[in-house]
Amino acid sequence: MVKCSGIRKARLHFRLHRERKESIMKIGIIVHSHTGNTYSVAQRLKEELLAAGHALSLEKVIAVNDEQPDVSKIQLKETPDASEYDALIFGAPVRGFSLSPVMKSYLSQIVSLKGKKIVCYVTEYFPYPWMGGNRAVDQMKKLCETKGTEVFETRVINWSNRQREKKITNMVEELSKLF
């Protein structure tokens, strides 16, 4: 057994604390949720990531005219600042077999996502991902990639699928391991 002086113990404790602090990521979960389904998934992700010790914020993208289908006419009321996070999880519903116009508008306004770890998910009512979910999450991924980043993972949650709860639980567990 090696004995340490008080100063040496303090230095070791400080170094261990600094290393642990450096591994903690500041994660932003930014969602557009029209009915609350997408937001409920984000809340479960938040709980899991907080339990893992990460610093986390859950923020909503809100439009004045949420029902507007034309992206160019969307007026955003709440636009979270994505630049303050090390990693981002974007979530949105599928609208008309595409990514929600509100999330499209928000992602288009972001200047850069360079150097950030990005994960995207969408929720849709239909039971199968090929019924709009795959297309929507691909649109989200491509919008993020135009901002200078790589998207590490994408997911589709089908709300009317009998396996919904299991899929949400699996997604939350798997995505939380990425951070």
Q: Tell me what percent of the residues of the chain surpass a pLDDT of 90.
A: 63
Higher pLDDT, 14 or 52: 52
What pTM was computed for the model? 0.84
pLDDT tens-digit readout, 40-60: 999 999 999 998 888 999 999
CATH architecture assignment, domain 24-176: 3-Layer(aba) Sandwich (3.40)
CA-derived radius of gyration, the chain: 19
Cα–Cα dist 82/56, whole Å: 12
Domain boundaries, the chain: 24-176
Higher pLDDT, 125 or 21: 125
Question: 12 falls in which pLDDT band (50, 70, 90)?
Answer: very low
Q: State which H helix or E strand residue 126 sits in.
A: none
Q: What are phi and psi of 168, to 5 degrees?
A: -65, -45
Q: What are phi and psi of 56, to 5 degrees?
A: -145, 145
Strand segments, DSSP code E, in 80-179 are 87-95, 98-99, 117-124, 151-158
- CB 74 within 8 Å of CB 102: yes
Q: State which H helix or E strand residue 144 sits in.
A: helix 133-145
Nearest to 45, CA basis, from 141, 166, 176, 179 = 176
Cα–Cα dist 127/118, whole Å: 25
Cα–Cα dist 165/167, whole Å: 5
pLDDT value of position 123:
95
Residue 23 has pLDDT above 70, yes or no: no
Q: What are phi and psi of 160, to 5 degrees?
A: -90, 0
